[in-house]
A and B are shown apart, each in its own frame.
Chain A
Amino acid sequence: MIYFEHVYKHYPAHRDALRDVNFHIAAGEMVFLTGQSGAGKSTLLKLLALIERVSSGQIILSGKNINKLKNSSIPFLRRKLGLIFQDYQLLMDRNVFDNVALPLVIAGYSQKDIKKRVRAALDKVNLLHKEKSCPITLSGGEQQRVGIARAVVNKPALLLADEPTGNLDPELSKEIMNLFEEFNRVGVTILIASHDLYLIQQLQKRTIRLQQGCLVTI
């Protein structure tokens, strides 16, 4: 599903963030992306979500070179992905329901569909009882679960998570990882950037390790 072929990412006035990265992730896989801070994990995810563009090389997603995508098509690519962030990226002035509904509102779903899908997503992350709450009143683990509900509400085939447990204690982290495993079991491809090696070892999934912008283990 995802092919990286000789991908380089160069930032002006910095050393290369990614150097000659090559790997493949098959549909339905759950893969961890590890490495120290600054190894290029976030950069790699940003390239996949087209938040950044590659300097050279190509990224093939479902058989298509995403670097050839026009800027105006980027939103439509992002609607097919589920993005999850370390700092959750929730809108604090809207309640949980509205936060999860956002991708559906953007995509122009009807009110009826939105209600049905948001409730289903919140049910999956076990937060249906909190739909009227404001994110600020929730714990870190709950906020991240809202973030995950928002990422899966569109039923994407690919989930990209950047340090999703970075701000959580080990127990909550385990809970979040279990959620990802559940989604993976129904066929969603998942790529998680994390430096929590202990947690990664427990889950026994394939791991891609980056070191100073280069791939070390595939």
Chain B
Amino acid sequence: MSTEIVLRRTTPPVLHQMQSILFCHWKALLMTFKELLNTPVATIVTATVIGISLSLPAGLYTLLQQAKAFSSPWQDMNHISLFLKKETDLESINKLRTTLQTLPHIEKITHITPQQALQEFRDYSGFGEALDSLQHNPLPHVFIIDPQLTLHNKQQLEQLFSTLKTFPEIDIAQLDIEWLQRLYSLFNIFYQSILLISILFSLTVLLVIGNTIRLNIENKKEEIIVIKLVGGTNRFIRRPFLYRGLWYGVYGGLLAVLLVNGSLWVLQTPVKDFLLTYNSPLQLQFMPVHDTFLLVVMSMLLGLIGAILAVNKHLHNIELE
């Protein structure tokens, strides 16, 4: 044994230092993993709170993404439908058609006669027998106007729309893009709401993990004091708590993935039935791989940040007596 104290940090070779630091991290990772398994109930409760908090925004986001994908084929359907007045005769209709063809910005005009419309309605609506009882066809002639593809500017489209509205033969003019625009602004509202919900629930996760780590620190007070007394650095003391936060995040994230996919699985049959009424073969999909990965990583980060906040706040309160 030496008889003199050398008051300087002994610094082993860099490689040895690196190895020893990595080993310390690896040990802390394994130790906290085992500790969490040793208290399964507390771990499951914490992970469940995190999982539920994250599954709500993640689930809503997944649903919305799929609703958007489902509606995207209609994105280019910016038709204008012109419903003609009932009393308009065939001659005026043909004249109107010729006039319309001279207008700029019109790509194509489709004429649907009342007979065609009735047949289509009979085929798709399921009211076939009820329609048979009608004495005469109540449907008007309809022109479907496809604007030129270059006409994607909303203002130009509206200008064309208001020109078309002025013809006396036209009863109702309808710009079909409007409902799509409404749908998309609705999507936008949902996205913003999900963002807000995500922020609130992320805060919840931070608070839950922070509080759990605070309790862990309280429980390990004796150990922290002993470690300080035998020369443990703050970094050494912090490390296991940070890994604890990380593990809570991983467990919570994985649970959220399970919850979201479980809910999607439950919803699959009713959604399929619903989509079939629109003749759509589409099905509800599970969470995509990259979203799953992102969710778990986010959860892990939240766990780590929560732990850092808790450790910074509460570790200083433990003083040696």
- Which residues of A line the B interface, CB within 8 A? 1, 27-28, 46, 49, 51, 61-62, 64, 66, 69, 72-73, 75-81, 83, 85, 89-91, 93, 102-103, 105-110, 150, 154-158, 183, 186-189
- Contact A106/B6 with A155-B1, A188-B1 known, Cβ cut-off 8 Å: no
User: Whole-angstrom distance from the CB of A147 to the nearest CB of chain B?
Assistant: 10
- Contact A76/B222 with A108-B21, A157-B2 known, Cβ cut-off 8 Å: no
Pick the contact of A157: B5, B21, B225, B228 (CB < 8 A). B5
Pick the contact of A103: B21, B222, B231 (CB < 8 A). B231
- Contact A80/B20 with A102-B226, A107-B231 known, Cβ cut-off 8 Å: no
User: Whole-angstrom distance from the CB of B9 to the nearest CB of chain A?
Assistant: 5
C-alpha gap A28/B2 in the complex (Å) = 10
Cβ–Cβ < 8 Å partners of B8 in chain A: 76
Q: Which of B23, B223, B228, B231 has the most CB of A within 10 A?
A: B231
User: Whole-angstrom distance from the CB of B320 to the nearest CB of chain A?
Assistant: 5
| Number of interchain pairs (Cβ within 8 Å) | 94
Cβ–Cβ < 8 Å partners of A105 in chain B: 27
Question: Does B233 interact with chain A (Cβ within 8 Å)?
Answer: yes
C-alpha gap A91/B8 in the complex (Å) = 28
- Are B230 and A1 in contact, with the CB atoms below 8 A? no
Pick the contact of B230: A78, A157, A188 (CB < 8 A). A78
C-alpha gap A84/B12 in the complex (Å) = 27
C-alpha gap A102/B172 in the complex (Å) = 85
Q: Give chain B's interface residue range (CB within 8 Å of chain A).
A: 20 to 34
Question: Does B227 interact with chain A (Cβ within 8 Å)?
Answer: yes
- Are A1 and B4 in contact, with the CB atoms below 8 A? yes
User: Whole-angstrom distance from the CB of A65 to the nearest CB of chain B?
Assistant: 10
Cβ–Cβ < 8 Å partners of A77 in chain B: 7, 231
Question: Does B61 interact with chain A (Cβ within 8 Å)?
Answer: no
Question: Does B125 interact with chain A (Cβ within 8 Å)?
Answer: no
Cβ–Cβ < 8 Å partners of B83 in chain A: none
- Are B222 and A91 in contact, with the CB atoms below 8 A? yes
- Are B236 and A89 in contact, with the CB atoms below 8 A? no
C-alpha gap A93/B38 in the complex (Å) = 12
- Are B225 and A64 in contact, with the CB atoms below 8 A? no
C-alpha gap A46/B320 in the complex (Å) = 10
- Are B7 and A106 in contact, with the CB atoms below 8 A? no
User: Whole-angstrom distance from the CB of B315 to the nearest CB of chain A?
Assistant: 13
Q: Which 9 A-B pairs have the closest CB atoms?
A: A79-B231, A78-B231, A108-B20, A62-B5, A187-B3, A103-B230, A75-B233, A106-B232, A51-B320
C-alpha gap A150/B236 in the complex (Å) = 18
Cβ–Cβ < 8 Å partners of B320 in chain A: 46, 51
Could you list 30 examples of A-B contacts with CB < 8 Å? A27-B3, A51-B320, A61-B7, A62-B4, A62-B6, A69-B7, A72-B233, A73-B9, A75-B228, A75-B232, A75-B236, A78-B230, A79-B230, A79-B231, A80-B7, A83-B230, A102-B230, A106-B233, A106-B236, A108-B20, A108-B23, A154-B231, A155-B2, A157-B5, A158-B5, A186-B1, A187-B1, A187-B3, A188-B1, A188-B3
Question: Does B229 interact with chain A (Cβ within 8 Å)?
Answer: yes
- Are B5 and A1 in contact, with the CB atoms below 8 A? yes
Cβ–Cβ < 8 Å partners of A85 in chain B: 229
Residue of A nearest to B3 (CB): A187
- Are A106 and B4 in contact, with the CB atoms below 8 A? no
- Are A89 and B1 in contact, with the CB atoms below 8 A? no
Pick the contact of B223: A61, A62, A81, A91 (CB < 8 A). A91
C-alpha gap A72/B20 in the complex (Å) = 20
Residue of B nearest to A155 (CB): B1
